[in-house]
Structures are given as C-alpha cells and as structure tokens.
Amino acid sequence: EEGRYAYPQWWVDQVKAQYGAQAARILLAGNQHPPMTLRVNGRRNNAADYLALLTRHGIAAQLVALDIVQSGAIQAEAIQLEQAVSVDKLPGFFDGLVSVQDAGAQYAAHFLDVHDGMRVLDACAAPGGKSTHLLELADINLWAVDKDASRLARVQENLQRLQLSAKLTVGDIAQSDGWWDGKLFQRILADVPCSASGVVRRHPDIKWLRRPADIVGFAQQQRDILHNLWRMLENGGKLLYVTCSIFTQENQHVIDEFLQNNKDAQQLALPVANGVSAAEFINGQMLPDDHHDGFFYALLRKQ
C-alpha cells in the first residue's frame, strides 16, 4: 500500500480507519496536481467580469460555485484556471483585482459572517489570504496576529497590493501575554497549526516528514489555542475554527472536547446550500478533490 498510494503505512491505515470506502479516493487525490484557483476582489470586480477578462487574455478558466447561503441567497464564486500560470500573467493582479487562493479556503471569510464596524481577530494570519478576504467583504477593524515575523511581512505585502489595511502584531495566540490589549472581539478566525494532511499535494514532503505522534501534539496545541482565544470573544460572538487537515483527531474531536468543557459554546451549522456543498461538509470536513484542498470548519458561538 505504501507503493500503491505513495504514503507511509500509518497514514494509509489512519485514512482507511476513518473514511472506509472513501479512503482510496482521498489518498489518490493527495497525489494529484493541485488546481490554481483565484479569488476576485469584490470591492473592485466580480467573478463573471473577471472570467471574461481572463478569456480576452487567452487564459482558459471556469467559475466554481461555493454555494454559501447569505441573506437568503446563494452567493460567492471562485475561478479555477485550466492550467496554472505565473501571477504576472493574471490581468490586474498587481493592481489588486484578484488573489490566488484555494476554493476550499475561500469559505472561511464567508462562514465567519463579518459586518461593517466589527472588531475581528485573525489568529495565525500569515500569509494573509483569509485576512484580506475578510477585509474585502466588510469594513472591519481587523487585527492580524502571527508568531512568525517574516511570515507576517507577507500579510503586509498582500494588504498593500489589495489596498487594504489592518493592525499587524507578532504574537503567540496560545497565550495572550505581550500582545492582547484586553478588549473583546466580535469575531475570531482561528486558522490553527495542524498536520496539513489536506494539502499534501501542494507539499508532498509533509506525508513523509509527519509521524503519528505529531497528530497528538497538534491536537494539544489546538486545544490550548482554542482555550486562550475563547476568553477573547464577546458574548454572542462567533469563532471559526479552521484546519487544513483530514484527521478527525485535529478536527471534530478537538471541538467535541472543547464543547464538553465550555458550556457557553455552541457549534452552529455551516451556511452551505443543500446539495453538493452540503454533502461535502459532512461534520464540517471538506475532502480534497479536483476543485479544492482538504479543510475542516467548525463555527462556534459564545452564548
């Protein structure tokens, strides 16, 4: 099986135990060439018009519906290129018309449900794809935090290219000392460190560098982060927990334990339309396929 699927045996065993008949498809998807997907800056353009612009420049692409239900209507689309190109070939890229972001990752900002004037924290913000998407959707007071100063510099680069602004801080989100000002947030995006098992086709070395003990370690780190961020959320506020993992130990198991220990936490249904998208988000888990990588989403409200 290691030779057939090009994964270490423990990884194959874990996927088979968790997903059963779907295991082979999941493992093979992780060996495919990843799609190149674009997010159109809604402040400057829309997906249909930018698709037409790509066509005029001879770049073949298609719309990918995200099927997110907002205000009673199905909204949001991504653009998937038939073949990857360098960003300098994308019309208007350096003018902020568009960003490169996996379709699965584009759900995050919509799920968090931000509105004008909100105080929002993007924890583990680098390289800034989700931060800038949040700012494209609403006029919010965004605080982007990351532990790595060099990676935080990439957030600033993306903000400048898209002509957006946010407060950037180097800090450890597993503890609040040294960076948090004590003021509560109405929304928190917790894109936590994980095994990255849902994005191995973009980083093939991951599956050979990871060990089973790493999954246990990530889960403990995720619990620590959730515990710390929860006290920064105001009553009635929402926190979106995100990983790019397909392993339940890092995903719903962490959330289930958190819900048991925090009676003021409620897990909400994700706002996806009935049909294909709803089927993809089984217990918040999105599996890798031809259109997106693997992600897990859990939307929590503080009661």
Catalytic residue numbers, as ranges: 244
Q: Work out the widest C-alpha separation in the chain, in whole angstroms.
A: 55
What one-letter code names the amino acid at 87?
A: V
For residue 92, which of 55, 134, 41 has the smallest C-alpha distance?
41
In our burial notation (b when 16+ CB lie closer than 10 A, e otherwise), range 265-281 reads: bebeebbbeeeebeebb
Give Rg (Cα) of the chain: 19
Q: How many residues are present in the chain?
A: 303
On the 0-12 / 13-18 / 19+ scale of CB atoms within 10 A, 127 is middle
Distance of CA 42 to the CA centre of its chain: 18
3-class DSSP state of 300: strand
